[in-house]
Amino acid sequence: MVTDPIGDFIIRIKNAAAVGKDTVSVPHSKFKMAVADKLKEAGYVKSIDRRGKKIKKTIEIGLIYDKDGKSRIMGVKRISKPGRRLYRNVEEIYPVKYGHGSLLLSTPQGVMTDKEAKKARVGGEALFEIW
């Protein structure tokens, strides 16, 4: 049993990108689906597809590589964990890797990237950084 589903989700994506896989499959949940949609909007993944029915549902995520074979995802860092939730208000949201990365937040208005949260003037739980 996985105690940190979002941590498991991002590590599966990072590991699949590190070994050059085209797609990665993760167990389905609405929250993971919202995070995957934001990763697609931010340009870190190519495609998102739901597979299976009922209890065997999965999310199939297609990864992006450049012409040299380097992944778009270079690294991830989990910030808020099940044992220690970390929240940031709008003044505490800073650019990741000098603007080359993104911070994903769970806000009252849904999952947002750092740029969207700053624009909407809303804070929330800092989930993870990706670059």
> Would you call 5 helix, strand, or coil by DSSP?
helix
Whose tokens are 């590991």? That residue is 15
> How does the average pLDDT of the chain come out, rounded?
95
Q: Which pLDDT does position 62 carry in this prediction?
A: 97
Which whole number is the average pLDDT over 18-38? 96
DSSP secondary structure, 10-43, as one string: HHHHHHHHHHT-SEEEEE--HHHHHHHHHHHHHT
Does this model's pTM top 0.95? no
What percent of the chain has pLDDT above 70? 100
